[in-house]
Every structure is written in structure tokens, then in C-alpha cells.
């Protein structure tokens, strides 16, 4: 399917047509910011009228100034880098562990029967609950944080891979066997691409949970990262840092999700016409 | 007893199959013997549930027969393989591959080098009339086009025998006629051995060199009728419907099949009546 | 059927029934082996009998029950609030396209920071304690229920609603007899999901020292390096989650949603 792209309309006077197209797309993006702008206005108003002490609420401009300061000193960048690095490493490892495991449970009746209940049991215990134990084992280190985030990420990946594999019609595999394909071929050409949409969904979900678990773990392990930033700011009553940190946390997640994961999802799935959008 | 000679591609002897259910074994087919010779187009007609799909699956190697043996080129059938290509009723082509890559899939598996592969695929695409659509994905094609791709894929892999399980049943009537003619032309051009099962008597007589009629469940083959091949280029519907000899044969087969359908319905009524009164 | 194959069948059926227990058994065996071979300190890996006796002690002294009840109480409070606001909000937004479009960016953003991220700010605003835990749970449950409700409401075919309107039904009537039942499957799935997440978020919510609760139990134990209590806590948390989901929530969903043949697990937003 070809997507329409803004091409210069032949013979248009001084490119007026394409200008309008670009303008309307920018307008669409700007529209998204309106509710946030409204929120900031309301926030300013509340802060101005309410006369709250500084340790409770500060103005948006104050938050902006503080964050800018942190940014210019490279501190904010460092915190962001730590968290981002962590989520991506954890994602990579979770995929490496979760997809094969999910595959196994999805394709083999015995593996499913043996492992599914156990996995569901683990699903009920959040990563944070294990944190104290993991801290005893690995100390207050990045390894601890990593372990917790991998644990959190792996669960939806495993389960979604499982359902993805199960959803692939057996007929596809039979068809390929009748073309002379062996087991490995069938996995590579049928089950892996067939399960991919589901795996992508699991990945998106996992990254959502994983990001939140990361922040929580960073709050406790205190070895850097945005969770450390906002939790540390609490003890010193720096509301500006807390609010600023929260905004950064939200914004980063949206950026990663919308600009990275979702396009990846769309690229693979929609192109194959598999997503029932 | 069927005589197997060097020209026999498929030899089925004493085949009988039972399915394991909660209520015990259920008989799917009666005792079947059949031979398919090289280059033959054999069609099998029978009422629903008579076991024709079971027979095809056994020949393909998807199920192991409860009784009897199946040989392909003198070797026992032990599982699905390239030698016995299958075209299913539902689509088995992969939605995430283009037309070109789907058709070439069997060649890819066989390790055929890319240049040769592309050549063969291109030739087939021309034969099935899908030039210009090589880079489309299945979901962008119509039902008839998709089925063409499925047939071409199996053809490209150059199997010894091609098994087809009502491949045109899910396609609309108009397209079906076209596909049948195309299949006929394809077979005439490439001299393949085909085993084709269907509901439709007309289709069976139109396509086949030999028509087998199966009884109702548990089915056995009760009649084998030869159909003289007329033109070398495959048949077309116009000539077929106008040909009195063809129509005669078709009527003959229809009568045989109808008798089975009628008997099956009568039996169902009897069973329903017995169940109601008990 | 001859006795040999009968026995064979019975054994394989038994094996099949017992299979789900295999990983648990493997973990237990590994635990024992690790203990025997490496003799780790009690705080790294307490021996099984320590954990078992701890469970017994906590149960006997009533502490376990007390903590469980405290946690469950908070979960229920936060969840009920979350469900009520989530459904109400979901309907409001789901029914009105303009509002949905306007609020969507905000919803996406606040969803991205839902739950634990509010902890530092909320401690500054409402302090440590039950209120904090309840807020965090409310936050988690709200978004899930909200999103599923919006989805459910939007997916109710307009044709159905128009049908009732053309029979003379009022706005309210349409809502009651068409939209609500139509969206119900999604709402129920959202509730089931939300409760699961709420339970998991609960532990994190209690980590800054609420007075009691399973999370508190774990984190207090962490300070004294009582791994046996930590492990006990984790096991109980998992057991409760599993029990409630399997024996309470799933049957409810099965009897309503699945029986009405309306949606599958995969379709609702988790």
C-alpha cells in the first residue's frame, strides 16, 4: 500500500498547495499541545491564588527554570541517560529470554501444562516485592534494578509470544511441510513472523510496565536514574525537581512509545495487513 | 489387490482409518485401494463426510493410516514431504510474504539459487496471469488470485504428485470456472500427477482423466470412470458443455453420487427417528 | 481394555494432572540443593524449614492475617474508587467524541506516569500512610478501567443505540439498556485487569512504611535482613493474586462476558 506524500503540485503558484498541507500537519501537532497548555494555565492560576508553601507547590515557570538549570549542568542528562540505558538493556534481555520461552510454552503442550501455572503465579508477584530480596543478593547496584525490570518486562512478552504462537493457523505449518520444510524452517518462516504482531503488543505493554517498575526500583536503589532524582528531591523538599522529574518521566515514555515502538509495530504488522485496525 | 508398476506414483492398499474420540474409535473410511499413475489427473467425488479428506491427508502424510499402506514411488509414506505437494481449501500461503516470495518458497527451501528461482517464479506468474502483482501481499488480492498463488506455490516446488483438497470451493462461481480452465491448461503444459477431491461432479469430470466415486461414510471407492482427454491444451467449459460424450459421463457420475447422497440422507432420517422415539 | 493399558492410561492421566506442580517442585529442589551445597547465610537464602516455621509463626500470631487484611482493605478502597471514577469518566469521555479528542493527550500523558511515579509528590502533599497507598492504587486502577470503559462505550454499535432512540427511548434509557450492557464486557475485563495491577502496585505503595500490610511486612523485614519473612511475603502475595483471580474474578468474567460470547482476553486493553 502506498502512502500519500506531499508532493509539489505541478503548476501550483509558488507552491501554495504544499504549503497548506505542511501547515495543516503542523496544526495537527500543535492541537495536541492545547490541553497541556490549558493544564499549565490552570496550574499557574492555582499556585498564584493558593499561596502554597514552596515545599508543596511551585509555579510552572519555577519548574521550568530548575529543570533548565539541571539540564545545563548536565545533571539532568545524566539521570535521563541512566534510565534510558536501563530500559533498553532490560528490553533486549527480556526479549532474548522471553520470546524463546513464550515460544516453547506456546507450541508445546507439555511445556505449556508444566510452566503456565508457575508463570501466572509469578505474574501476581510484582518485581518490587522481590526487590528487598534481590538487594540482599546483589546489593544497591544497577544489577538489582536491571533484574527487577527484566522480571517485569519478561512477563507480558512471554505471555504474548505464547498467544501469538498459538494463534498461527496450523495449516500454514502443514503447507510448508508439504513444500519440504523441516522444523527449523517452519519456526523461522511461519511461527516467528506469525507471532510477531502479538510479540510487538507484548513488547509495548512490557515497556510500559517496565518503565514504571524502573522508576520504582530507582527510588529504592538510589543509584541514579529519574526515580532517584524525584525520590531524592523528596527528602530535600524540592517540589520543583519532583514535578519537573515527573514531567520528564512522562514525556520520555511517550517519546519512546510513540516515536520508537509504535512505528516499529506499524511497520511490521500493518504492512502485512495483519492488524485489524 | 492393485497392480503396482513402475508408472505408478501413488499406491494405496487396504487403507482404512479410524479416529479416536471420547466415545471410542470412529470409522472414517471403509477399505480403499487405489493407484495413481504418473501424469494422471485423478478426481475423487463423494458426499460430505465420506472420508475423502481423510484419504488425502493420509496420502499427504499428515495422518498415519490405522490400517493399510500407502506408497509413493515405491517408498512408504511416513510424513509430509516435498514429493507430495498439497493445495488446501483454506489459504495456507503466508500473509507476510509477497506473491513472488510465496510462490518461490518451495524453491527457497530446496536451496535453489536465486537466479534460477526468480526465473521459475516469473514463468509461473505468467502462467497464472498475475504479472504486475508479484510484489503484492495476499491481503491485497482477491480470493481467486490468492488461490492461484497457492496453486502456483505448490507447482513451483515441482512435487511428484499434487494433492488438492477442494481448492476452489471457497471461491465465487465465476472465478471458479476460470480457475478450473487455468488448472487444466497448467496441467497440460507441465504434465503433473494430480489427485483432486471435490464435491462437484461437473468439476470432477471436467478436470479428471479418471473419476473415482466414493460411497457415503465410511466411504469406499465404488466406481472408477475413465474420461477421454480431448484437446491437448486442456478443456474449456464451452466445448465441454457442448460435447455429448462428456455430458453423458457427467450424468453417469451424477447418478452414482446422487444414489450415495440419497442413501446417506435416508440413513440420517432413520437415525433421527430412532433417537426421537427412544 | 486390558489391565496393562488401563494402568498405563491412568498413570499418564495422573502425570498430566500433576504437571503444573513441576516447576514449583523444581524450585524447591534447587533451593534444597543450593542450601546443602553452598551453605549460604540465612539472610541470602534461608533454609526451607525456616521459611515454613516463619509462615507458621506469623499465621499463628495473627500477624499474617492482620497484614493481609490491611493490604486487602487498601486495595479494595483504592479499587472501588478507581472503578467508580474510571467507569464514570469512561462513559463521559466515550460518549462525547469532542471531549475524547480534547482529553486524549492528557490521558496518555498521565497514564505514562500512573502509579508509583506520584509517590514523592504525594508524600509531600498527603504524607505517608493509608491515604498514600489508596491514592496510588486508585491511580493505577482508574486508568485501566477508564481506558477499557472508553473502548467499550465507543465500540457499542451506533446502530443499536439508534434503534432504541427510534423506539422512543430517552437518552437515559438508551444509556441504561444499550450502552451499559454493551460496554459491560470491556468494563469487566478492565476491572479484572485493574485489580491485578492494583494488587501489584499495592506492594510498591506500601514501601514507604504504611503502618501495616504485606508490603510493609516485606520492607520492614528487609531492614532486619529477615529474608525468611521477605520470601514468605512474596509467596503469600502471589498466592492471593492467583487465588482471587482464578476463583473469584475469572468465574465472574466467564459467567458474564464469555458466556455472552462478546470478547476475548486479547481484545481488551490490558
Could you please report the per-residue DSSP string of A80-144?
Answer: HHHHHHHHHHHHHHHHHHHHHHHHHHHH-HHHHHHHHHHHHHHHTS-HHHHHHHHHHHH-SSHHH
What is the rounded distance in angstroms from the CA atom of residue B146 to the CA atom of residue B139?
Answer: 8
Identify the CA nearest to B183 among candidates B238, B128, B244: B128
- Of residues A264, A120, A275, the one with CA closest to residue A204: A264
For the whole model, what pTM was predicted?
0.81
Query: Looking at beta carbons, which residues of chain C come within 8 Å of A123?
Result: 241
Q: What is the pLDDT of residue C59?
A: 84
pLDDT at position C200 over 90: no
Phi, psi dihedrals of residue C197, rounded to the nearest 5°: -70, -40
Angle formed at CA A220 by CA C223 and CA A242, multiple of 5 degrees: 135
> For position B276, what pLDDT does the model report?
67
Number of helices (H) and strands (E), helices first, in chain A? 12, 0
Does C158 have pLDDT greater than 90? no
Distance from CA of B97 to the nearest CA of A (A): 8
Q: Which residue in chain B is spatially nearest to A173 when comparing CA positions? A: B92
The per-residue pLDDT for C266 is 42
pLDDT classification of B231: cutoffs 50, 70, 90? low
Give the pLDDT confidence score for residue A128 in this predicted structure.
86
User: Residue A171: its chain B contacts at CB < 8 A?
Assistant: 88, 90-92
Range A114-140 average pLDDT: 88
Answer whether C108 sits within 8 Å of A254, measured CB to CB: yes
Interface touch B82/A176, C-beta < 8 Å: no
B24-27 and B8-16 strand pairing: unpaired
pLDDT at C3 over 80: no
Residue B85 has its nearest CB partner, among A169, A178, A193, at A178
Assess whether pLDDT exceeds 70 at residue B117.
yes
Q: What's the mean pLDDT when you consider all of chain A?
A: 84
Residue A112 has pLDDT above 80, yes or no: yes
How many other CB atoms are found less than 10 A from the CB of residue B265? 12
Q: What H or E segment, with its residue span, contains residue B184?
A: helix B173-190
pLDDT for position A30: 74
* Nearest CB partner across the interface for A126, out of C23, C200, C231: C200
Q: What 3-state class would DSSP assign to C115? A: helix
Beta bridge partners of B43: B196, B211
Q: What is the mean pLDDT of chain B?
A: 85
Q: Are strands B221-226 and B210-214 parallel, antiparallel or unpaired?
A: antiparallel
Give C-chain residues touching A33 at CB under 8 angstroms.
105
Residue B70's SS3 state is: strand
Cross-strand pairs, B223: B213
Cβ B95–A178 below 8 Å, yes or no? Answer: no
Q: How far is A174 from chain B (nearest CA, A)?
A: 8
Q: How far apart are CA B2 and CA B14, in angstroms?
A: 10
Q: What is the pLDDT of residues C56-106, one digit of tens each?
A: 888 888 888 888 888 888 889 999 999 999 999 998 888 888 888 888 888
* pLDDT confidence tier of residue C8, bands split at 50, 70 and 90: confident
Q: How many CB atoms lie within 10 A of CB A257?
A: 18
Q: Is B101 an interface residue toward A (CB < 8 Å)?
A: no
Residue bearing the bigger pLDDT, C247 or A14: C247
* pLDDT tier, C165 (very low <50, low <70, confident <90, very high otherwise): confident
- How large is the C-alpha radius of gyration of chain B? 19
How far away is chain C from the Cα of A61, in angstroms, using its nearest Cα? 18
Q: Does A27 touch chain C (CB under 8 A)?
A: no
Interface test with B, best of A164, A170, A180 (most B CBs within 10 A): A180
Cβ within 8 Å of residue C23, ≥6 positions away: A114, A115, A117, A118
Contact B211, B225 (CB under 8 A): yes
Choice between A4 and C58, residue whose per-residue pLDDT is larger: C58
pLDDT at C54: 86
Min Cα–Cα distance to chain A from C49, Å: 18
Strand locations in B84-235, DSSP E? 84-87, 161-165, 193-198, 210-214, 221-226
HEC profile of B211-264: EEEECCCCECEEEEEECCCCCCCCCCHHHHHHCHHHHHHHHHHHHHHHHHHHHH
Cβ(B238)–Cβ(B225) below 8 Å: no
Nearest to A171 among B60, B92, B140 (CB): B92
Q: How far is B96 from chain A (nearest CA, A)?
A: 5
> C125 in contact with A at a CB cutoff of 8 Å?
yes
> What percent helix, strand, coil does chain C show, rounded to 5?
85, 0, 15
Contacts with B94 from chain A: Cβ below 8 Å: 172, 189-190, 193-194
First to last CA, chain A: 15
| Residue A256 C-alpha, separation from nearest chain B C-alpha, in angstroms | 26
What pLDDT shows up at residue A18?
Answer: 64
List chain B residues with CB under 8 Å of A174. Answer: 62, 80, 86, 88, 92
Query: Residues A88-96: what's their mean pLDDT?
Result: 96
With CB atoms and an 8 Å threshold, state whether A185 touches B109. yes
- At residue A173, the pLDDT reads 93
- Whether the pLDDT of residue B273 is over 70: the answer is yes
The C residues from 8 to 47 touching A (CB cutoff 8 Å) are 16, 19-20, 22-24, 43-44
Q: How far apart are CA C72 and CA C78, in angstroms?
A: 10
For B71-95, the pLDDT digits (tens) are 888 888 888 988 899 999 888 999 8
Asked if the model's pLDDT at residue C1 lies above 60, the reply is no
| A159 part of contact set with chain C, CB < 8 Å | no
Put simply, the chain B residues between 147 and 176 with a CB less than 8 A from any chain A CB are: 153-154, 157, 159
Interchain contact A114–C (C-beta under 8 A)? yes
Nearest CB to A179; choose among B62, B95, B157:
B157
- Residue A264's pLDDT band (boundaries 50, 70, 90)? confident
Nearest CA in chain B to A188: B109
Residue at grid coordinates 499556585: A47
Is the pLDDT at A94 greater than 90, yes or no?
yes
Q: Are the Cβ atoms of B94 and A189 closer than 8 angstroms? A: yes
At B221 the pLDDT is: 83
Burial environment of residue A246 by CB neighbours within 10 A (0 to 12, 13 to 18, 19 or more): buried
Contact (CB<8Å) A115/C23: yes
- B15 phi and psi angles, rounded to 5 deg: -75, 130
Give the residue among B177, B34, B154 at the shortest CA–CA distance from B85.
Answer: B154
pLDDT the model gives residue A270: 65
Confidence at residue A198, expressed as pLDDT on a 0 to 100 scale? 86
Torsion-angle region of C179 (φ positive above 0: left; ψ -120 to 50: alpha; else: beta): alpha
Show residues of chain B in contact with A179, CB under 8 Å.
82, 85, 105-106, 109, 153-154, 157
Closest residue in C to A135 (Cα) is C222
Omega cis (within 30) before C159: no
Q: C267 falls in which pLDDT band (50, 70, 90)?
A: very low
Q: Is the pLDDT of residue C251 over 90?
A: no
pLDDT digits (tens, 9 = 90+) for A159-191: 999 988 998 998 999 999 999 898 899 999 999
* Nearest chain B residue to A170, by CA: B92
* Predicted local distance difference test score (pLDDT) of residue C268: 44
Task: Check residue A17 and give its pLDDT.
Answer: 64
**Shortest CA gap B86–chain A (Å):** 6
Half-sphere exposure of B112 (CA within 13 A, CB side): 18
Query: What is the pLDDT, as a whole number, of residue A234?
Result: 84
Against chain C, the chains showing at least 3 CB pairs within 8 Å are A
Total count of residues recorded for chain C: 270
User: pLDDT tens for residues C94-122?
Assistant: 888 888 888 888 888 898 888 889 988 88
User: A124 and C120 in contact by Cβ < 8 A?
Assistant: no
A274 to chain B: which residues are within 8 Å by CB?
A: 95-96, 139
Contact A174 B95 (CB under 8 A): no
Confidence of residue C35 (pLDDT cuts 50, 70, 90): confident
Do A35 and C207 count as a contact with CB atoms less than 8 A apart? no
Q: Answer yes or no: are the C-beta atoms of A113 and C16 closer than 8 Å.
A: yes
> Angle at CA B153, nearest 5°, toward B147 and B156?
140
> pLDDT-derived band of residue A276, with 50, 70 and 90 as boundaries?
very low
**Residue among C110, C119, C242 minimizing CB distance to A121:** C242
Among the residue ranges A172-186, B62-76, B167-181, C1-15, the one predicted with the least confidence is: C1-15
User: A262: distance to nearest CA of chain B, Å?
Assistant: 19
* Cα–Cα distance, B166 to B44 (Å, whole number): 10
Taking a C-beta distance cutoff of 8 angstroms, is the pair C252, C188 a contact? Answer: yes
pLDDT class for C151, splitting at 50, 70, 90? confident
- Interface confidence, given as ipTM, is 0.82
The pLDDT of residue C264 is above 70: no
Which chain B residue's Cα is nearest to A273?
B139
The mean per-residue pLDDT over the stretch B178-193 comes to 83
Cβ neighbours of C225 in A, within 8 Å:
136
Range B190-217 average pLDDT: 88
Residues C93 and C150 sit within 8 Å (Cβ to Cβ): yes
CB contact under 8 A, A113 and C16: yes
**Which are the contacts of C216, defined by CB distance < 8 A and separation ≥ 6?**
C67, C70, C206, C209, C210
Amino acid at each position: 500500500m502506498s502512502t500519500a506524500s506531499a508532493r509539489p503540485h505541478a503548476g501550483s503558484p509558488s507552491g501554495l498547495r504544499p504549503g497548506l498541507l505542511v501547515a495543516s500537519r503542523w496544526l495537527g501537532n500543535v492541537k495536541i499541545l492545547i490541553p497541556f497548555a490549558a493544564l499549565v494555565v490552570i496550574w499557574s492560576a492555582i499556585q498564584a491564588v493558593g499561596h502554597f508553601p514552596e515545599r508543596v507547590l511551585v509555579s510552572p515557570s519555577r519548574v521550568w527554570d530548575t529543570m533548565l538549570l539541571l539540564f545545563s549542568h548536565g545533571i539532568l542528562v545524566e539521570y535521563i541517560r541512566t534510565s534510558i540505558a536501563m530500559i533498553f538493556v532490560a528490553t533486549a534481555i527480556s526479549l532474548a529470554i522471553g520470546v524463546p520461552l513464550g515460544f516453547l510454552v506456546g507450541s508445546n503442550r507439555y511445556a505449556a501444562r508444566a510452566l503456565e501455572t508457575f508463570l501466572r503465579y509469578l505474574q501476581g508477584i510484582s518485581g518490587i516485592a522481590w526487590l528487598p530480596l534481590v538487594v540482599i543478593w546483589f546489593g544497591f547496584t544497577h544489577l538489582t534494578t536491571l533484574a527487577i525490570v527484566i522480571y517485569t518486562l519478561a512477563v507480558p512478552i512471554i505471555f504474548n509470544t505464547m498467544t501469538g504462537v498459538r494463534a498461527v493457523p496450523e495449516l500454514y505449518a502443514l503447507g510448508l511441510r508439504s513444500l519440504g520444510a523441516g522444523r527449523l524452517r517452519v519456526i523461522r518462516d511461519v511461527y516467528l513472523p506469525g507471532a510477531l504482531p502479538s510479540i510487538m503488543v507484548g513488547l509495548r505493554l512490557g515497556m510500559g510496565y517496565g518503565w514504571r517498575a524502573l522508576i520504582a526500583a530507582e527510588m529504592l536503589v538510589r543509584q541514579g536514574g529519574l526515580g532517584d532524582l524525584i525520590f531524592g528531591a523528596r527528602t530535600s523538599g524540592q517540589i520543583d525537581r519532583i514535578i519537573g522529574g515527573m514531567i520528564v518521566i512522562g514525556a520520555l515514555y511517550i517519546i519512546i512509545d510513540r516515536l520508537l515502538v509504535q512505528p516499529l509495530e506499524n511497520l511490521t504488522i500493518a504492512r502485512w495487513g495483519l492488524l485489524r485496525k | 489387490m492393485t497392480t503396482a508398476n513402475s508408472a505408478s506414483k501413488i499406491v494405496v492398499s487396504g487403507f482404512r482409518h479410524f479416529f479416536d474420540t471420547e466415545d471410542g474409535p470412529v470409522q472414517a473410511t471403509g477399505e480403499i485401494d487405489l493407484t495413481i499413475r504418473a501424469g494422471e489427473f485423478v478426481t475423487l467425488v463423494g458426499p460430505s463426510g465420506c472420508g475423502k479428506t481423510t484419504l488425502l491427508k493420509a496420502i499427504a502424510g499428515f495422518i498415519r493410516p490405522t490400517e493399510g499402506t500407502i506408497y509413493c514411488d515405491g517408498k512408504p509414506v511416513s510424513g509430509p514431504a516435498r514429493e507430495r505437494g498439497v493445495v488446501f481449501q483454506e489459504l495456507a500461503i503466508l500473509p507476510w510474504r509477497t506473491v513472488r516470495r510465496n510462490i518461490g518458497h518451495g524453491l527457497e527451501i530446496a536451496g535453489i539459487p536465486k537466479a534460477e528461482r526468480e526465473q521459475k517464479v516469473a514463468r509461473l506468474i505468467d502462467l497464472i496471469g498475475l504479472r504486475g502483482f508479484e510484489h503484492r501481499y495476499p491481503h491485497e488480492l482477491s480470493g481467486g488470485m490468492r488461490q492461484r498463488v497457492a496453486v502456483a506455490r505448490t507447482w513451483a516446488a515441482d512435487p511428484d504428485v499434487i494433492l488438492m483438497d477442494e481448492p476452489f470451493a471457497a471461491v465465487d462461481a465465476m472465478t471458479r470456472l476460470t480457475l478450473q480452465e487455468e488448472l487444466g491448461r497448467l496441467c497440460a503444459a507441465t504434465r503433473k500427477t494430480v489427485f483432486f477431491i471435490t464435491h462437484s461432479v461437473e468439476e470432477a469430470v471436467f478436470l479428471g482423466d479418471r473419476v473415482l466415486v466414493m460411497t457415503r461414510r465410511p466411504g469406499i471407492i465404488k466406481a472408477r470412470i475413465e474420461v477421454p482427454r480431448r484437446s491437448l491444451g486442456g478443456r474449456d467449459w464451452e466445448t465441454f458443455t457442448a460435447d455429448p460424450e462428456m455430458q453423458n459421463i457427467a450424468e453417469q457420475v451424477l447418478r452414482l453420487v446422487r444414489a450415495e447422497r440419497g442413501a446417506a440422507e435416508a440413513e440420517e432420517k432413520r437415525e433421527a427417528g430412532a433417537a426421537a422415539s427412544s | 481394555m486390558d489391565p496393562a493399558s488401563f494402568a498405563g492410561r491412568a498413570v499418564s492421566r495422573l502425570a498430566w494432572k500433576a504437571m503444573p506442580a513441576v516447576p514449583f517442585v523444581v524450585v524447591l529442589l534447587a533451593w534444597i540443593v543450593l542450601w546443602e551445597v553452598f551453605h549460604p547465610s540465612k539472610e541470602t537464602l534461608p533454609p526451607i524449614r525456616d521459611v515454613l516455621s516463619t509462615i507458621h509463626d506469623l499465621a499463628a500470631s495473627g500477624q499474617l492475617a492482620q497484614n493481609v487484611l490491611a493490604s486487602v482493605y487498601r486495595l479494595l478502597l483504592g479499587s472501588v474508587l478507581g472503578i467508580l471514577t474510571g467507569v464514570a469518566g469512561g462513559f463521559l469521555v466515550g460518549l462525547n467524541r469532542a471531549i475524547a479528542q480534547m482529553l486524549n493527550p492528557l490521558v496518555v500523558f498521565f497514564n505514562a506516569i500512573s502509579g508509583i511515579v506520584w509517590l514523592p509528590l504525594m508524600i509531600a502533599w498527603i504524607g505517608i500512610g493509608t491515604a498514600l497507598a489508596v491514592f496510588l492504587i486508585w491511580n493505577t486502577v482508574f486508568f485501566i478501567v477508564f481506558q477499557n470503559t472508553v473502548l467499550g462505550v465507543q465500540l457499542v454499535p451506533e446502530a443499536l443505540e439508534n434503534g432504541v432512540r427510534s423506539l422512543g427511548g430517552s437518552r437515559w434509557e438508551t444509556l441504561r439498556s444499550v450502552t451499559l450492557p454493551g460496554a459491560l464486557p470491556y468494563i469487566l475485563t478492565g476491572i479484572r485487569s485493574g485489580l491485578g495491577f492494583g494488587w501489584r502496585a499495592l506492594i510498591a505503595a506500601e514501601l514507604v512504611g504504611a503502618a501495616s500490610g504485606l508490603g510493609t511486612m516485606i520492607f520492614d523485614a528487609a531492614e532486619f535482613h529477615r529474608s525468611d519473612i521477605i520470601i514468605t511475603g512474596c509467596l503469600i502475595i502471589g498466592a492471593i493474586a492467583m487465588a482471587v483471580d482464578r476463583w473469584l474474578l475469572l468465574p465472574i468474567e466467564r459467567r458474564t462476558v464469555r458466556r455472552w460470547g462478546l470478547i476475548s482476553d486479547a481484545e481488551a486493553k490490558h
